[in-house]
Structure 1
Amino acid sequence: MGKKSFFLAFCFLFVLALLAGFGGSKQESSASESTLENEKSSNAHTEEKSKESSSKSTSDFKVTLLGTGSPVISMERFSNSTLVEVGGERFLFDVGRGAAQRLNQLDIAPGMIDKLFVTHLHHDHVMDFDDVLISAAVPDPRGGREHNMQVWGPKGTKDWVKNTLKAYKIDIQVRKTVESASGLDADVHEFNKEGVVYNENGIEIIAFEVDHGPMKPAVGYRINYDGRSVVISGDTTYSENLIKYAKGTDLLIHEVISVKHPEEEYKSEALKNIEAYHTTPEQAGEVFKQVNPKLAAYTHIALLMPEEEAKLVERAQKSYDGEVVVGVDLMEFEIGEEVKVIEP
């Protein structure tokens, strides 16, 4: 081979080597990019799982809206009922239509509830008492109620419980005999004045009077635990007494009504009377402004118009610049340094 031929062959091999090198570099670069993308994907997945875990985290003070509706029959909003889980105990505040079903959705058997606090005796706040009480007899691997249901409420509560038990006397007796069921009776702690009605294991529950027009008595409740608190208004119109007892609470759960647009006239005297002993969004805003909770949430949402037209938050925020949420069934709140909202 001559020098010229040797030189050309050398150049040809050199170019092939360079091309192979570039190809290898490209493959290595592609592999590196792929690895980086996998790492990003993995990190994103880990972060998402972390967020998911965080959203399901437990708290020693949690509130769940079981029913956020009114007497109006609805499959989306069951009647009023609120579950408070605090300090390892469960307390039910009102027991409206569908309370037993909502508890079951939370994997809580009705028999696992043995403490009920009643705000007043309108049927939409108490109509599921018999179901929650007697369903304790149904065999359930989650456990039944071992002792009597404990019921707290204002004057009239004893008669209501007594007559409910009387109505189901035969059913209860059969279940005790055939199923050896327990927890189908109730002890009533009726109170005639506002103040502390429960104080055990660091949990303090205060009842206070509210203004629900001709329905008297009617009360709200404040639950205090470890420097934190939740206030449940019950049914009421604008109430100075509620403001007094709710001052500085972490979470204020308050009723709201809108039977007409603000600029409209009432379509009937009955609607005018109904709204008179409930709370409009404007009135709620004034309450929130004076109470100054970390979070305000609507429940007992009584509307005679589509919810988007009612503008419940916007109307309250004309006078209140804090956060307001419109509650929905099974919405949860974790009470800590901040109030965390967990959508259902």
Structure 2
Amino acid sequence: MKVTLLGTGTPILNINRFGISVLVEAGTQKLLFDAGRGAAMRLHQQQIPLRDLSAIFISLLNSDHITGLPDIYATAPLPTDDGRLRKPLLLFGPDGIDNVARGTELLFKDQNRMRMLEGEVVEPATHIIAKRVEPGVVYEKDGVKVIAFLIEHGHVKPDYGYRVEYGGHSVVVTDDTTYSANLVAHAKDADLLVQSVAIGSRALEKAAPDYVNHFYGYLASPEKAARILVEARPKLAVFAHISLYSRPGIPRARVDELRERVQSVYDGKFVIGEDLMSFDIDEHGVRQAEYSPEIRQKEPV
């Protein structure tokens, strides 16, 4: 298995951290978990043709999880040197996912009509097959199994995490969530856990506790994220969907503070993710692949 962080950001614009999106390659399957801003571009950087995506799984319908979907839908059917999509896009997600699919088709209805007249797009590729997710096995093909499970994101419900199993190995992708026993149960002993995290600096937490604690009810603080890792004990954890909270005149948290606060609770291995990081999983364990992205951050976290 191979896991690539295509985007590790939030709804806030950041050229170094695109919208949340994780690619899991397992056997013959290429599975995309969430399709945040820039997902198509990051796939292109990884030399993954859009037509090769086996399925897309959406965790919740917040904008930053789906804004990259129209780009994938509109671009995948176009003729390129490495081929094009010739069948419907397969999309999984919570209640309301059919609205996303039909809305995307409607958005591009006229451009599809024009492109089909020119032979640039084949008709089957103008459709999206949307499947509403319920807890349990939602996808199974060629030895790859995807299990959906409910996670905790404040009043935003339902919100799903996904566990991918293949060849005796497992990857868990959680995205937006704070601590929950259900998350821990499904992440138990995973080879790799992709976990969201939020942080306000100590100074901000002291100056505006109500402001920060409101967000900690939706996304795990460093300490809550560390608690998840303590109880789940993955072989390796990587933080993505990293949310930073700040206010004018108050220093914001830096990557060192995030690392130190997690380490104060959790003694296992974890990585603070960046766009285009990837991880290989096989019989030898989990290891981070060589990382030399074309775009590097200008600031910590």
Residue in structure 1 matched with residue 288 of structure 2 by the alignment: 341
Cα offset for 1:150? 0.3
Query: Which amino acid in 1 is paired with 2:265?
Result: S
SS of the aligned residue for 2:131 comes to strand
Q: Deviations over 1:164-192 (max 9, x none)?
A: 2112211122222223413231101112x
SS of the aligned residue for 1:311 comes to helix
Residue in structure 1 matched with residue 32 of structure 2 by the alignment: 92
Residue in structure 2 matched with residue 297 of structure 1 by the alignment: 238
Aligned pairs (5 A) from 1:145-294: 145-182=85-122, 183-191=125-133, 193-261=134-202, 264-265=205-206, 267=208, 269-294=210-235
Q: How many residues align?
A: 283
> Which one of 312, 328, 331 corresponds to residue 274 of structure 2?
328
SS of the aligned residue for 1:74 comes to coil
TM-score (norm 1): 0.78
Aligned pairs (5 A) from 1:21-100: 61-100=1-40
Cα offset for 1:266? 5.3
* Cα distance in structure 2, aligned partners of 1:303 and 1:212: 17
Cα offset for 1:88? 1.7
* Cα distance in structure 2, aligned partners of 1:268 and 1:261: 10
* Cα distance in structure 2, aligned partners of 1:148 and 1:103: 19
TM-score (norm 2): 0.89
Q: Which structure features the higher share of helix residues?
A: 1
In angstroms, what is the RMSD of aligned CA positions?
1.7
Query: Which amino acid in 1 is paired with 2:215?
Result: I
* Cα distance in structure 1, aligned partners of 2:8 and 2:139: 25
Q: Deviations over 1:138-170 (max 9, x none)?
A: 321111112100001111111121112112211
SS of the aligned residue for 1:264 comes to helix
Cα offset for 1:307? 5.6
* Cα distance in structure 1, aligned partners of 2:245 and 2:215: 12
> Which stretch of structure 1 is more off in the superposition, 74-83 or 316-325?
316-325
SS of the aligned residue for 2:31 comes to strand
SS of the aligned residue for 1:119 comes to coil
Cα offset for 1:198? 0.7
* Cα distance in structure 1, aligned partners of 2:126 and 2:52: 12
Which portions of structure 1, spanning 4 or more consecutive aligned residues, are displaced by more than 6 angstroms? none
Structure showing greater radius of gyration is: 1
**Cα pair distance change 1:309/1:67, threshold 3 Å:** closer
Q: Which structure features the higher share of strand residues?
A: 2
Residue in structure 2 matched with residue 10 of structure 1 by the alignment: none
Residue in structure 2 matched with residue 313 of structure 1 by the alignment: 259
> Which stretch of structure 1 is more off in the superposition, 309-318 or 128-137?
309-318
